[in-house]
Amino acid sequence: MGEQAALERVTDPVTVDTLVRDLRALGVEAGETLLVHSSLSALGWVAGDAQAVVDALREAVTADGTLVMPTHTPQYTDPEDWSNPPVPADWVDTIRDERPAFRPEVTPTRGMGAIPECFRGYPDVRRSAHPLYSFAAWGSEAGAVVEDHELAYAMGEDSPLARVYERGGRVLLLGVGHDVNTSLHLGEYRADIDAEPVTREAPVHRDGERTTVTFEDIETSTDDFATLGGAFENRHGAAVTRDTVGAAGARLVDQPALVDFAVDWFEDNRAGDHGE
């Protein structure tokens, strides 16, 4: 969305103060654990762009709470598997060998949007060390949420998603839908379904040197996430609050209730035994 379209979506500039007001009206509470998925362009014209949104989210949650965002880096997946777009076959080895190692402090997100990319750069934000599926967090329990993020089964029981679940956290879908709701991956890992095992590798920085780590995982899919999310909202409307934040439609979702529902939904709608 361009500048003109963003201007036309609002009658006044979206500011830190108006965002905090809207987040409070939606139900965001000081002191809670909040996992955010977001679209900056959906908010309309924001004075201060992504920085204003990050500041507003921090103010709404407060330092007594914990703010969490996905900061994934799919540029470290196997380039041989890339399809949007694919790269020439004779580039693959060069990409594998020459891309800089993942470093949580500096490696940019990819495909996550402007808000988490801005958030991960704040000096008091902690980021997990997973080279593909990192999360960043700020607040009272940031370290507990992102530390010890295991390489294997990256969005399962030893991931920040499970730490949010343990804290009774909520998911804020800010101008986006369940198709990007990473908490549903935790349901995939917990469900007794036929998930194909895979081995992944990625370059990381350890002891000042570039090294390649290899780890086991399962093949995940977001293809049915939107359908699952709609089914959850139809069945458990009380676990979802809807309102407008800026110009964006926003939903506040009980994460444990959603994940528990997802486990049953996957078992009913995806066949077989879990591949983990």
Q: Among 146, 143, 178, which residue's Cα sits nearest to residue 161?
A: 146
4 token code pair: 């003109």
Instruction: Give me 142's structure tokens.
Output: 């940031």
Task: Please indicate whether residue 3 or residue 222 has the higher confidence score (pLDDT).
Answer: 222
Q: How far, in whole angstroms, is CA 154 from its chain's centroid?
A: 13
- Rounded CA separation 64/67 (Å): 10
pLDDT band at 272 (very low <50, low <70, confident <90, very high): low
Express as a percent the part of the chain with pLDDT over 90.
Answer: 92
Half-sphere exposure of 1 (CA within 13 A, CB side): 19
Asked whether the predicted pLDDT for residue 207 surpasses 60, the reply is yes
Helix (H, G, I), strand (E, B) or coil at 34: strand
pLDDT tens for residues 3-61? 888 887 888 999 999 999 999 999 999 999 999 999 999 999 999 999 999 999 999 99
Q: Are 271 and 194 in contact (CB under 8 A)?
A: yes
Half-sphere CA count of 153, side-chain side, radius 13 A: 15
Query: For residue 180, which of 134, 223, 219, 145 has the smallest C-alpha distance?
Result: 223
Lowest mean pLDDT among 84-98, 225-239, 261-275: 261-275
- The DSSP bridge pattern shows strands 33-38 and 170-174 to be parallel
**The pLDDT of residue 204 is above 60:** yes
Higher pLDDT: 260 or 274? It is 260
User: What whole-number distance in Å separates Cα of residue 150 and Cα of residue 141?
Assistant: 18
What pLDDT, in 10s, does the model give residues 66-114? 999 999 999 999 999 999 899 999 999 999 999 999 999 999 999 999 9
Q: What are the pLDDT digits (tens) for 156-176?
A: 999 999 999 999 999 999 999
* Structural tokens at position 216: 């086991």
**In whole angstroms, how far apart are CA 178 and each of 22, 182, 188, 248?**
21, 8, 14, 15
Residue 245, SS3 per DSSP: strand
Q: Is the pLDDT of residue 248 over 70?
A: yes
Q: Determine the pLDDT at residue 4.
A: 84
Look at the chain and count its residues: 276
Strand order in the sheet with 66-70: 126-127, 135-139, 66-70, 33-38, 170-174, 248-254, 240-245
15 vs 4: CA distance, rounded Å: 17
pLDDT in the model for residue 274: 41
The per-residue pLDDT for 265 is 98
Mean pLDDT of the chain: 95
Are the C-beta atoms of 155 and 215 separated by less than 8 Å?
no
